[in-house]
Copies of this chain bind each other. A is one copy, B any other.
Amino acid sequence: MVEKYNVRTDLALEEKERFESDNVEIPGVLLQEQYDEEKDIRITTVTIETENGAKIMGKPVGTYITLEAPKLIDADEDFHSEISEELLKYIRFLIRHEDMETYSVLIVGLGNRQVTPDALGPYVVDHLNITRHVIREYGKYAVGDAKVKLVSAIVPGVMGQTGMESVEIIRGVVNETEPDFVIVVDALAARSSKRLNRTIQIADTGIHPGSGVGNHRNAVNEETVGVPVIAIGVPTVVDAATIVNDSMENLIAALETSEALRGVGVVMQGYNAAEKYELVKELISPHLNGMFVTPKDIDETVNRISFTISEALNKLFTA
């Protein structure tokens, strides 16, 4: 199994694709696909069942549901409403509290409100119907329903603003307020720019920044916060180095295979994968570290998708 160079992605779907060309099955990893042609919505479920599968995938054991919908970037309210319904279905599936009449949930809006593509989590929290304080003060009939859910939310901020890991804040708040489970919403990094703002990933594994690249925040999962953690993420950026890397791989591949360039091909074949990676790395500007790529209309897109996700959550908790 030949792996492509390891570039950052937060999407299990994209990790899976790294192995795709080989068309082999990864032991311990299941893949299921569904495609709604009319709406152009693709649902991919990646289930990592074993620790071995987790190791190969670089992601923890669990279920990752990806919803891909190119029309997510459009300003079509009806379509966003449909996506909310879809989303609601899969979140409910993963929270496994669907049969409970009542439960309490803490929603965490991760990310930096001051950096547009990273503001998804905070924006989702802005639109939520918060009920925990009302129900605690006036009882569950105050919100007109016996099957009520206690919804609380927090926007912890990023480490540069707080001096704390997000997981420290979340664990502290979970210990104090004892929700049945946590939902974290976060902006993700994709490997492919074509997935930006068109994809939503829902996972029952929490968030593991370390599985990506260069980020020393700790994981936010059942192990670290003490209750199950559902993660909802939307890729809004691609690492700058990733985009350059991909393009240069394309160039090398073209050189290797081109009829017209047979001579080059011969020479390039003298390089193994690692050497080619080194060559590429050398040619990428060191200034690209800590840089990301994002679309110019990211403000509108993040606004819209944050609204769509909060709608799904608001419906989920009143259903």
Seen from chain A, the residues whose Cβ lies within 8 Å of a Cβ on chain B are 75, 112, 114-116, 125, 129-134, 137, 150-157, 159-165, 168-169, 171-177, 192-194, 196, 216, 240, 243-244, 246-248, 250-252, 254-255, 260-261, 263-264, 266-268, 279-280, 283-285, 287-288, 290-300
Our pick among B150, B172, B248, B280 for the contact of A176 (Cβ within 8 Å) is B172
Judging by beta carbons under 8 Å apart, are B284 and A295 in contact?
no
Q: Determine the chain B residues whose CB is within 8 A of the CB of A295 once the complex forms.
A: 290-292
What are 22 sample pairs from A and B whose C-beta atoms fall under 8 A apart? A115-B116, A115-B298, A130-B160, A131-B163, A132-B163, A133-B160, A153-B163, A154-B157, A168-B173, A168-B177, A172-B172, A172-B174, A172-B176, A193-B287, A193-B291, A194-B285, A240-B243, A243-B244, A244-B247, A248-B251, A263-B266, A293-B293
Give me 17 other A-B pairs in contact (C-beta within 8 A), A131-B163, A264-B268, A290-B296 excluded.
Answer: A114-B299, A115-B116, A133-B164, A154-B169, A168-B173, A168-B176, A169-B173, A172-B174, A193-B240, A193-B285, A193-B287, A240-B240, A243-B285, A251-B283, A291-B293, A292-B294, A292-B295
Q: Determine the chain B residues whose CB is within 8 A of the CB of A240 once the complex forms.
A: 193, 240, 243, 293
Judging by beta carbons under 8 Å apart, are B160 and A164 in contact?
no
Our pick among B163, B176, B291 for the contact of A152 (Cβ within 8 Å) is B163
Q: How long is the Cα–Cα vector from A297 to B300 in the complex, in angstroms?
A: 21
Nearest B residue to A280 via CB reads B251
Judging by beta carbons under 8 Å apart, are B243 and A297 in contact?
no
Judging by beta carbons under 8 Å apart, are A154 and B164 in contact?
yes
**Closest CB pairs A-B (n = 8):** A172-B172, A132-B163, A152-B163, A172-B176, A114-B299, A193-B287, A250-B283, A130-B163
Judging by beta carbons under 8 Å apart, are A284 and B156 in contact?
no
Q: Determine the chain B residues whose CB is within 8 A of the CB of A285 once the complex forms.
A: 192-194, 243, 246-247
Nearest B residue to A254 via CB reads B283
* Given the contacts A169-B154, A193-B287, A247-B247, A132 and B164 also touching, CB distance less than 8 Å: yes
Nearest B residue to A150 via CB reads B163
Between A134, A247, A285, the greatest number of chain B beta carbons within 10 A of the residue's beta carbon is seen for: A247
Judging by beta carbons under 8 Å apart, are A112 and B247 in contact?
no
Q: How long is the Cα–Cα vector from A114 to B119 in the complex, in angstroms?
A: 11
Instruction: Output the least CB separation between A144 and chain B (Å).
Output: 11
Between A162, A171, A288, the greatest number of chain B beta carbons within 10 A of the residue's beta carbon is seen for: A162
Q: Determine the chain B residues whose CB is within 8 A of the CB of A287 once the complex forms.
A: 192-194, 196
Q: How long is the Cα–Cα vector from A294 to B268 in the complex, in angstroms?
A: 32
Our pick among B151, B261, B298 for the contact of A163 (Cβ within 8 Å) is B151
Q: Determine the chain B residues whose CB is within 8 A of the CB of A290 once the complex forms.
A: 295-297
Our pick among B162, B176, B193, B264 for the contact of A130 (Cβ within 8 Å) is B162
Instruction: Output the least CB separation between A260 and chain B (Å).
Output: 8
Nearest B residue to A300 via CB reads B160
Instruction: Output the least CB separation between A142 and chain B (Å).
Output: 13
Q: Determine the chain B residues whose CB is within 8 A of the CB of A216 once the complex forms.
A: 137
